[in-house]
Chains A and B, each alone.
Chain A
Amino acid sequence: MTQLALVIDLNTCVGCSACVTSCKEWNTSGEAGPMTDMMPYGEDPTGTFFNRVQTFEVGTYPNTQTVHFPKSCLHCEEPPCVPVCPTGASYKREEDGIVLVDYDKCIGCKYCSWACPYGAREIDEKQKVMKKCTLCVDRIYDQTLPEPERKPACVLACPADARIFGDVHDPQSEVSVLIREQGGYALMPEWGTKPANHYLPRRKMEMHIHADELERADNPLSKEDLKIDDKDITSVDGFGGW
């Protein structure tokens, strides 16, 4: 069985919000749209977003880390928002595990948003129905798009390659390998919702420079024990002797 999901690398996310704007742009004009903004130029603007980048500061100065944290629907394998829906508008697709809302069936009772511990669902204040990340379901299967573009808009927009899209049930997929080898984890594992989206932790990057890297231990000249007095020799390009 397939379970499409995103892997988000917190180590490379720079918090630029390109995923937020590209998500809004694609989805507001696509099948999931419009994603209404209320009073966008007013004092108290509000609107519907499928994806938001939040920022957390970890630690006490001077030992602090800024963690940019993109959050969208996690497409849980045990989605608590689906069984509570009284109309069946909220559902999880058998074929690829994407959790979707049927806007024609939703009655806007907000019960699913209460049942989501992650706050991934937002009501559209104009259409009065519940909306959430569709994993760009109207993009990823679009045969008219070139194959490399059949990915969620947020993944394509990320300049840091912090968002990776794939099937987390396929053990050889890029996302599965990343989760397995880079310590991918799920949010709020205590509720047993089994989020399909995973996050890769911040990793402290340290540069180790060994002496042989500076001295070039594999220098063929030193290997062959050639002693060259380079003052009198013309270099390969012919300029050394000038």
Chain B
Amino acid sequence: MHPAFSVIFLTTLIGTGQGLFLALFTGQLYSLAQLVPLQDSETFYAHGSALALAFLIAGLIASFFHLGRPERAWRSATKWRTSWLAREVIVLPAAMGLIALYGAAHYLSFTKPLFTISGVLPVDLTLLIGLAATGATFALFVCTGMIYASIRFIREWATPLTIFNFTFMGGASGVVLATLFAQIEAPEFVNLFGFWAIILTIAALVTRSISLWRNAHGTPKSTVQSAIGVRHPKIVQTATGAMGGSFNTKEFRSGSSAKRICQAKWSFMALVFFAPLALLGLALTSASPFIAWLLVALAFGTQLAGLLIERWTFFADATHPQNLYYQSM
């Protein structure tokens, strides 16, 4: 498939925003369980939510560049009963709204307990909004993944691994950003977030490696024989029905050589997984907070750059059966 930069930026940026919010809310839960000291609502949660929101807004803006008719984008929420794309169109603003509310509730310090569960668990407004936003954030990961996983004849995408990859990779980059943010705003959270960043990066490494292995093995269901219905082992296309190119010869091909795609695979494996893991490990054991901050900043930058390459490869590596009709160029 042709890797469109609009969709590459959309999926990576919202993933980071979602991961950052999940880290913030996890931090609040840890504080609630009194495992980590309580943080200042305004500087930590409100600013953190604003940062997460900034990533989601940037992703949303990028998505408009994918549309031929962006002025009609409002229509794209109507068929949510059948289309995962429509569901994403609904869930993305919903998650953004809830994260904005979450930040606002913290900013306005709505942290007075509304009621207490079993006399030990105080529930305030931020916790309730945070729970709803967490639900929306996970729903958004599922919607984004299912947009690709639901196209059953693109073999490389049609697997539950797609959803796990989006969730773990988005989550990892967001939690790395949360670690970076905590180094400035809430040093008590650095080890917690750093730990989760490593866990999520390893989880993403596992699922992405399995999907790379899966895509390299197995055979496509459709062949040129089933495409034109002629039973003969040797069929060569001599004309595609277009003198020059057409939409079909551009949209469904990466335009890059197999060698380039292979290089991209190794690049993102290093940039998304191995380099950030090493940098995070060094940062968490570093004695100097400044060096630790630099290392995490480097880890975040490397991972985000790597994720852009990963998403490019996700598209470039996907083969569409319509290419069976457009073989000779």
List A residues at the B interface (Cβ < 8 Å).
17, 20, 43-49, 52-60, 66-67, 69, 71, 80, 82-89, 105-111, 113-119, 122-123, 125, 127-129, 185-191, 199, 201-202
Least CB distance from B302 to A in Å reads 31
Least CB distance from A50 to B in Å reads 11
CB contact between B248 and one of A122, A187, A191 (< 8 Å): that residue: A122
CB neighbours (8 Å) of B230 from chain A are 56, 58, 67, 201-202
Chain B: interface residue count, which band?
35 or more
CB pair B234–A54 under 8 Å, yes or no, is no
CB pair B226–A190 under 8 Å, yes or no, is yes
Least CB distance from B72 to A in Å reads 5
Closest partner residue, chain B, to A103 (CB atom): B69
CB contact between A189 and one of B78, B226, B323 (< 8 Å): that residue: B226
CB-based closest 6 A-B pairs: A108-B68, A52-B241, A128-B68, A119-B322, A83-B82, A86-B86
30 pairs of residues in contact across A and B, judged by CB atoms under 8 Å: A17-B241, A49-B246, A53-B239, A53-B241, A54-B239, A55-B237, A55-B239, A57-B235, A60-B234, A66-B238, A67-B230, A71-B241, A86-B76, A86-B78, A86-B86, A87-B72, A87-B78, A106-B69, A107-B68, A107-B73, A110-B251, A111-B83, A114-B1, A115-B151, A117-B222, A119-B320, A123-B247, A186-B229, A187-B228, A189-B226
CB neighbours (8 Å) of A186 from chain B are 229
B70, CB-defined interface residue at 8 Å? yes
Q: A119-B322, A123-B68 are in contact. Are A84 and B150 (CB under 8 A)?
A: yes
CB contact between A122 and one of B73, B77, B247, B320 (< 8 Å): that residue: B247
Least CB distance from B82 to A in Å reads 4
CB pair B247–A113 under 8 Å, yes or no, is yes
What's the Cα separation between A48 and B251 when bound, in Å? 13
CB pair A87–B75 under 8 Å, yes or no, is yes
B252, CB-defined interface residue at 8 Å? yes
CB pair B83–A83 under 8 Å, yes or no, is yes
CB pair B245–A44 under 8 Å, yes or no, is yes
What's the Cα separation between A105 and B68 when bound, in Å? 12
What's the Cα separation between A55 and B320 when bound, in Å? 20
